Structure 1
Amino acid sequence: MLSRWAQLEPHLPTNVGRGGRWHCHRRVINGILFRLRTGLPWRDLPLHFGKWQTVYDRHRRWSADGTWERIWRAVLAAADAAGRIDWSVVSVDSTVCRAHQHAAGAHRRPAYRGDRRCPAKHRSDEAVGRSRGGLTTKIHLASDGSPRPLSVLITPGQWGDAPQLITVLDRIRVPRPAGGRPRTRPDHVCGDKAYSSRRNRRYLRRRQIQHTIPERRDQRANRRRRGSRGGRPTAFDRARHARRNEVERCINALKGSRAVATRYDKRAYVFHGTVTLAALRLWLRP
C-alpha cells in the first residue's frame, strides 16, 4: 500500500509558469491539512509550516484554478482501477454547516479576469444563506459504499435538496486510466424523501439508473387521487434504503475536519476547495 504522499505527489503541479518553480510542496500541504483539521485562523499556523501567507495563497489558488479537483479526480481514477469504489449503491444527502461571522460580507463583484489565480466570476450569494439559526452553508454530496465522497456541491443553507440531485449526480466523473469516457453512472442511487420528485425520477429513468427513493405522503395521496392518470406506485427496496447510513457516515467523516464542520472561508470557491481537500483526504486513507 502506497503512502499518502506517494499517492499525492505525482499529481501536484510542478511550476507556476513565469517566476520560477514551487518550493516545498510537502511542507505547505501539511500546513493546509493542519488548518483543515483544526480550523484555526491562517495567521495562527505554526511557524514550522512556513509563512502563513504562502500556505493560504497556495490553497486559495489551487481552489480557484481547480487543482484540488483535478488531484481528487486522479486519485478517484486510481481507486477505481484498483476496485476500491463500490458502485453498487451510491447514496445522496446533504448537511448544513454553520458559517462563521467572518465568512460573511464578501464583495458582490466579479473577480479581476486578468488574475489567473482567481475564477472569472464569484457567486453572487457566495453560498451563504440566512435562516432563523443564522448564517449557514449546505454541502450536497454523493458517496459510494466505502463510504467516501464521489462528488460535492456547495449551496446556501436554505436551498432544498431535490433540485440539486441532478447537479450532484452530473458531477460524478471518474476518469479511466486506460482511456475512454469517464464513468458517470452508478448502478443504483439511494436517497431520502427530500429527493422525491417527478423530475428526479424522470431523469434517473432516462439515464437507466435504478433508484430507491421513498415517496412523500402528499405525493402518494395526490397520485391516488388522480387514479389511473397518477401513474404506478414507485418501487421501494427496504434493504437498499437501509444503506443510506453510508452517506451519513461519509458526512460525519467530512465534518471531522473542523474547517468543514464550520465554514470560516469567506469566498465560496475557497470553501469548495476546502471540502474537496477533505474528500481527497478520505480517499488517501488506506
Structure 2
Amino acid sequence: MSTPRRYELSDFEWSIIQPLSPNKPRGVPRADDRRVLNGIYWRLKTGSPWADIPERYGSPTTYANRFRRWAKIGVWGRVFAAVSAAYDGDAAYDGDLEMIDSSSVRVHQHGGNVKKGVRTPRLPPLGTTLEPSAWGAREAA
C-alpha cells in the first residue's frame, strides 16, 4: 500500500471511486483515471488555474475536459455519496475527509458576469427615495 502525496487519493478512496468512473471501451484509450482525479483534486484544493497542474498529472486540457464532462453527467455526485458512505461509521477513520466548496475554489474575475445582452435595472441603495426633490433636483418649469 503506497502512501499518497498530499493532494492524492488513498488506495482505499480509489477502491471506492474506481467502479463509479465511466468506462468507454471504444475509441482512443483514456488517460489513467486515478492520475486524472489526482490532478483534478490538486487543482481544486489549491485553487490554481487548470494550466498550473503539475506535469506529473499530465495535460491540463485532459483534466479540465474530464471535470466538466463528469459534472455534466452527474459522476461527481455519485463519487461524493460513495466516499461519504464508505467513511460513515468507520472507527479507523481519523476525520481527514476533504471537502470542496465555494470558500476553497475561486472563480475567475469574469466568472460572475451576467450573460451579454441581459440588462438588470440598477436600484438605488436601500432607504433612498426615488423622488427627484430628495436628490436636490429643481422642479421643472
TM-score, structure 1 as length reference: 0.29
Structure 1 CA distance for aligned equivalents of residues 34 and 102 of structure 2:
32
Aligned match for 1:8, one of 7, 11, 17: 17
Q: Tell whether the 8 Å contact from 2:17 to 2:82 is kept in structure 1 after alignment.
A: no
Q: Could you say which residue in structure 2 is the equivalent of 1:67?
A: 75
* Aligned with 1:54 (options 59, 62, 81): 62
1:12–1:19 distance in 2 versus 1, CA, 3 Å:
same
Deviation digits for residues 45-93 of structure 1 (CA, Å, limit 9, x no counterpart): 221111110011001111111011112223344445xx35xxxxxxxxx
Contact 2:51 2:60 in 1 (8 A): yes
| Superposed CA offset, 1:124-149 (max 9, x none) | 9xxxxxxx9xxxxxxxxxxxxxxxxx
Task: Tell me, yes or no, if the aligned pair for 2:50 and 2:64 is still in contact at 8 Å.
Answer: yes
More strand by share: 1
Say which SS state the counterpart of residue 40 (structure 1) adopts.
coil
Residue identity in the other structure for 2:20: H
Root-mean-square deviation (Å) = 3.2
| Alpha-carbon spacing, 1:72–1:31, altered in 2? closer, same or farther (3 Å) | same
How far apart are residue 32 of structure 1 and its match? 0.4
Aligned pairs (5 A) from 1:1-286:
3-15=12-24, 19-79=27-87, 83-84=89-90, 97=103, 99-105=107-113, 107=115
* Corresponding residue SS for 2:27: coil
d(CA) in 2 for partners of 1:32, 1:66: 16
Q: Percent identity?
A: 40
For 2:44, give the aligned amino acid.
L
The CA distance in 1 between the partners of 2:64 and 2:16, in whole Å, is 23
Question: Relative contact order: is structure 1 or structure 2 higher (C-alpha 8 Å, sep ≥ 6)?
Answer: 1
> How many residue pairs are counted as aligned between the two chains?
96
Point out where structure 2 has 5 or more consecutive residues left out of the alignment.
1-10, 91-100, 119-124, 126-141
Q: Which amino acid aligns with 1:34?
A: W
CA apart distance, 1:106: 6.3
Query: 2:35 touches 2:57 (CA, 8 Å); kept in 1?
Result: yes
Gaps of 5+ in 1: 85-94, 109-123, 125-131, 133-286
